[in-house]
Amino acid sequence: MNYFSTNFTLGILGGGQLGKMMLYETRKWDIKTHVLDPSIEAPCRIAADYFEQGDLMDFETVYSFGKKVDILTFEIEGVNIEALEKLEEEGIKVYPSAATLRNIQDKGIQKQFYKKHQIPTSAFNVFENKDSLNHAIFQKEISFPFVWKSCTGGYDGKGVSIIRAAEDLIPLADGACIAEDLVPFKNELAVIVARNPLGEVKTYPVVEMEFHPEANQVEYVICPARIDENVAHKAREIASKVSEAFKHVGLLAVEMFQTDDDEILVNEVAPRPHNSGHYSIEASYTNQFEQQIRAILDLPLGNTDSKAGGIMVNLVGAQGHTGQVVYKNIEKILAMEGVTPHIYGKKETRPFRKMGHVTIVNKDLDKARKIAEEVKKTIEVITE
């Protein structure tokens, strides 16, 4: 099929920053795009050929949007799966498929999927609601400490809590949840896997993630991860196995723990471009967003190697600031070596909201890490 400079239409469910960065690539290749998002101020609005405001969880909205496009993808998991299934039945290509999304959208189903496919993951129990979790604690079926995760709706550190005592349960939302063993680990790692409909698979280098202690959000993504080559090889192999099991098409971000004894455990996955792959825009031969387009259009996958060491710093809203955003000292970081800021286009900031990211590239990873720290100290996401 000829995708370039034609009436072929790619539909994207979700108009946030991931969609916006995907649109850089469709613009580069002159591929026509339609985007659906609930917000009239969605970052994608400025770059899509056609933008529609609507509820991603509403069957009729998603179904009627999907009927206008040739291939449909998404940049957020919170979409109506029944609509995707109906579209697939009627011949619209949906990548990743509704079946893949069904196994990922609910974290309880996702964990059971790993167990079924013998993919290493931490021990867990699934509960229908908070009452059944409390009952299991009372019966001593599970013990403190453990990790609580909401089965649906969690993102950017929301919907995840470490439970060390009974009182930690009080503020938790009711609803289906999982309780996972708290695994001692030395690193949080991630591997982006690309797979096209022909089954061609490529993995990106393993990245290492450093988290903010309060927000449970990634502060730095470091590529390549500063780990032993054998551990890196094992992580990429396991990520490929996860990709094969899900039979996804597009990108799959596989988040993992490297345990104290160098085992690799899969934490969770995201079937889309991911925060852990943003470094690739400047540091890789083929960035993750171009790779997503290549994969879902069944084009040859690009080279996943890095040109240089890459570090990504998330730009999040400063505490105590809600309102019209100001990027204080952005001109100072622009003067630094190998530094590229990406501003997502969200007009209003609030504490810990992802507003952008900054990539630092350098052949010397230690030097890149020092510059990243300087960037973090210098730029502030605040209000007037």
User: What one-letter code names the amino acid at 381?
Assistant: V
Pair 263, 175 in one domain: no
Is 149 within any annotated ligand binding site?
yes
Pair 151, 255 in one domain: no
Is 181 within any annotated ligand binding site?
yes
Binned at pLDDT 50, 70 and 90, residue 325 comes out as very high
* Listed residues 148, 181, 214: the one ending a domain: 181
* Listed residues 181, 216, 231: the one ending a domain: 181
Is 188 within any annotated ligand binding site?
yes
What's the domain range around 147?
123-181
Separation of alpha carbons 191 and 189, rounded Å: 7
Is 261 within any annotated ligand binding site?
no
pLDDT above 70: residue 156: no
pLDDT above 90: residue 230: yes
* Whole-Å CA distances, 223 to 37, 158, 217, 336: 31, 25, 17, 19
User: In DSSP terms, which residues pair with 9 in a beta bridge?
Assistant: 32
pLDDT of residue 1: 80
Q: Are 176 and 131 in contact (CB under 8 A)?
A: no
Model-level pTM? 0.95
Average confidence score pLDDT of the chain = 95
Q: Which residues of 175-194 are buried (b: 16+ CB within 10 A; e: fewer)?
A: ebbbbbbeeebebbbbbbbb
Specify if 106 maps to a domain. no
Is 182 within any annotated ligand binding site?
yes
CATH number at residue 156: 3.30.1490.20
Pair 241, 263 in one domain: yes
Q: Give the β-pairing of 185-195 and 250-259.
A: antiparallel
Specify if 103 maps to a domain. no
Pair 176, 189 in one domain: no
Pair 219, 239 in one domain: yes
Is 183 within any annotated ligand binding site?
yes
What is the per-residue pLDDT across 208-226, written as a single tens digit (0 to 9) for each?
Answer: 998 877 666 788 999 999 9
What is the per-residue pLDDT across 7-23, written as a single tens digit (0 to 9) for each?
Answer: 999 999 999 999 999 99
Separation of alpha carbons 52 and 45, rounded Å: 9
Pair 30, 166 in one domain: no
Q: Are 264 and 235 in contact (CB under 8 A)?
A: yes
Pair 63, 195 in one domain: no
pLDDT of residue 384: 86
Pair 217, 290 in one domain: yes
Pair 264, 312 in one domain: yes
Domain count, the chain: 3
Pair 175, 53 in one domain: no
Is 156 within any annotated ligand binding site?
no
Pair 338, 234 in one domain: yes
What value does the mean pLDDT take over residues 53-69? 98
CATH number at residue 21: 3.40.50.20
Structure token digits, residue 106: 């609910």
Pair 154, 173 in one domain: yes
Separation of alpha carbons 48 and 276, rounded Å: 24
Q: Is 187 helix (H, G, I), strand (E, B) or coil?
A: strand
